[in-house]
């Protein structure tokens, strides 16, 4: 990817973001006195509303605040809303939020724009944090082009296929150890309706981080790509069409009802409630699937992400903690990150909330703990493999491409482009237009989005 083009693109994005948010006045948070004359840093944290962060919030006051005197105010939002708010906040550097849960997609872009504070000096001074224990692939994804670290992973994840072993036995079916998508489609058709369950649950809700995350893994392994090496859009290529048509047809034929309205949290609820026989999604969801309160606990099997033309097909992802450059509380922000992303926090969650609730996929040491291996016995091996040996973000499919990324494209335009394309696909999932019509519109959007890369 040409770095000079990327820089111009990112500067353009900054200008657009600032223009969009012009006139917004966002108030900061003040400090209050601590006993002994010190300052209490009340941190504001913006994060996605997922079970792992809900657990973090529950434990913060009794542990982090009790130990440090630092209080934390959380704003938890659904993923799409959290991204929108985070983009506005960081583009304007308003300083309302000190820490945010940034992803492997945002970090390189935010870092290049100077929106995130580098963390290297904090990591170097905090030997107890044990940076060497963090999975290298996650560290790489959170490192900027300048070689500096800009975020620490709270948890990491790959993707895999979850299936109801009891329903498969009842239907006389066997799950292959390393299934292809075509095998999955056949199994979905045969198990569909068993005890009232749909054959499979897949994300259908619009959003580049919603339905496009799994769809892109299907596109990659079916041999498709968004662009050729000259940045010409390829969304109407036979391989891309075949992949999207496969996904849409599978959902419409054997997926959950109203799929176009259902994102990751909704399909997780459906699977846990016994309404789906299979679910392809993030490895991080296994802790909820196997929670003590889950009706399907102990009934689920786990196999690698389905593939087709490639040997590996799953994504690599992380939600990580980044500090806004405009924050005046960077020291306190690091104290929070050092606690929330530590081995000690994982142990705390294991002791107080159960080991299956511990944020996983980010540290090697967790998988060496007998307690975690016992509690996560059903899936920890697949989880570890998915987090460390999934598809290569630099070469995730068949043939060369000018961008990096598995479930997303590592270009700034993708946040807008991906969402627009996901909306067209969601209309096809709803049955209100054909896949060909959706991709014809998506092709035009993708071609326009890459004009600057073609030198136009």
pLDDT-above-90 percentage for the chain: 80
The predicted pLDDT at position 374 comes to: 95
Looking up tokens 């994102």, which residue turns up?
A: 263
How far apart CA 324 and CA 46 sit, in angstroms, is 11
Count of Cβ atoms closer than 10 Å to residue 351 Cβ: 11
**Which pair of structure tokens corresponds to residue 279?**
């679910």
Nearest one of 202, 406, 176 to 314, comparing CA atoms: 406
Instruction: Give SS3 for 398.
Output: coil
pLDDT, residue 32, reads 37
Q: What is the pLDDT of residues 196-255, one digit of tens each?
A: 999 999 999 999 989 999 999 999 999 999 999 999 999 999 999 999 999 999 999 999
Mean pLDDT of 378-396: 88
Task: Judge whether residue 93 has pLDDT over 80.
Answer: yes
* pLDDT (0 to 100) of residue 12: 35
What does the alpha-carbon distance between residue 339 and residue 360 come to, in Å, rounded to a whole number? 15
Class of residue 201 by CB neighbours under 10 A (exposed 0-12, middle 13-18, buried 19+): buried
Query: Could you tell me which residues come within 8 angstroms of residue 169 by beta carbon, excluding any fewer than 6 positions away?
Result: none
CB 273 within 8 A of CB 295: yes
8 three-class SS: helix
Q: What phi and psi, each to the nearest 5 degrees, are found at residue 259?
A: -60, -30
- The tens digit of pLDDT for each residue in 407-448 reads 999 899 999 999 999 999 999 999 999 999 999 999 999 999
- What are the pLDDT digits (tens) for 143-196? 988 999 999 999 999 999 999 999 999 999 999 999 999 999 999 999 999 999
Contacts of 450 by beta carbon, 8 Å cutoff, 6+ apart: 227, 231, 232, 233, 413
Dmax (CA) of the chain: 70
Report the C-alpha gap between 100 and 113 in whole angstroms.
Answer: 16
Paired with 74 in beta bridges are: 45
For 4, phi then psi, to 5°, come to: -65, -35
251 secondary structure, DSSP code: H
* pLDDT score recorded for residue 289: 94
């Amino acid at each position: 990817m040409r770095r000079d083009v990327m820089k111009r693109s990112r500067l353009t994005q900054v200008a657009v973001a600032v223009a969009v948010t012009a006139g917004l006045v966002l108030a900061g948070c003040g400090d209050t006195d601590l006993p002994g004359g010190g300052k209490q840093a009340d941190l504001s944290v913006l994060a996605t509303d997922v079970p792992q962060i809900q657990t973090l919030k529950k434990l913060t006051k009794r542990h982090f605040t009790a130990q440090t005197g630092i209080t934390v105010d959380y704003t938890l939002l659904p993923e799409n809303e959290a991204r929108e708010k985070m983009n506005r906040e960081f583009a304007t550097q308003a300083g309302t939020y000190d820490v945010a849960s940034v992803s492997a997609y945002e970090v390189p872009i935010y870092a290049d724009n100077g929106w995130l504070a580098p963390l290297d000096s904090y990591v170097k001074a905090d030997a107890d944090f044990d940076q060497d224990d963090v999975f290298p692939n996650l560290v790489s994804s959170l490192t900027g082009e300048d070689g500096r670290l800009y975020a620490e992973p709270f948890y990491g994840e790959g993707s895999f296929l979850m299936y109801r072993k009891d329903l498969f036995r009842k239907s006389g079916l066997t799950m292959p150890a390393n299934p292809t998508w075509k095998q999955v489609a056949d199994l979905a058709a045969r198990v569909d309706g068993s005890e009232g369950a749909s054959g499979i649950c897949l994300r259908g809700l619009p959003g580049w981080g919603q339905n496009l995350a799994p769809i892109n893994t299907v596109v990659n392994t079916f041999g498709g790509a968004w662009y050729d090496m000259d940045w010409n859009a390829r969304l109407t290529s036979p391989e891309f069409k075949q992949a999207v048509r496969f996904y849409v047809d599978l959902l419409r034929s054997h997926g959950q009802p109203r799929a176009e309205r259902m994102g990751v949290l909704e399909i997780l609820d459906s699977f846990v409630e016994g309404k789906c026989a299979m679910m392809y999604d993030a490895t991080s969801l296994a802790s909820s699937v196997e929670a003590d309160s889950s009706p399907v606990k102990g009934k689920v099997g786990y196999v690698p992400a389905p593939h087709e033309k490639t040997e590996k097909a799953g994504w690599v992802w992380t939600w990580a903690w980044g500090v806004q450059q405009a924050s005046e509380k960077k020291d306190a922000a690091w104290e929070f990150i050092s606690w929330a992303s530590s081995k000690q926090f994982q142990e705390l969650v294991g002791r107080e909330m159960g080991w299956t609730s511990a944020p996983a996929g980010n540290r090697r040491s967790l998988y060496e703990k007998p307690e975690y291996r016992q509690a996560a016995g059903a899936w920890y091996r697949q989880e570890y493999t998915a987090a460390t040996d999934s598809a290569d973000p630099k070469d995730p499919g068949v043939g060369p491409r000018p961008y990096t990324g598995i479930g997303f494209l590592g270009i700034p335009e993708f946040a807008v482009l991906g969402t627009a394309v996901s909306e067209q696909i969601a209309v096809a999932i709803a049955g209100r237009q054909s896949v060909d019509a959706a991709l014809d519109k998506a092709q035009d959007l993708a071609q326009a989005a890459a004009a600057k890369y073609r030198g136009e």
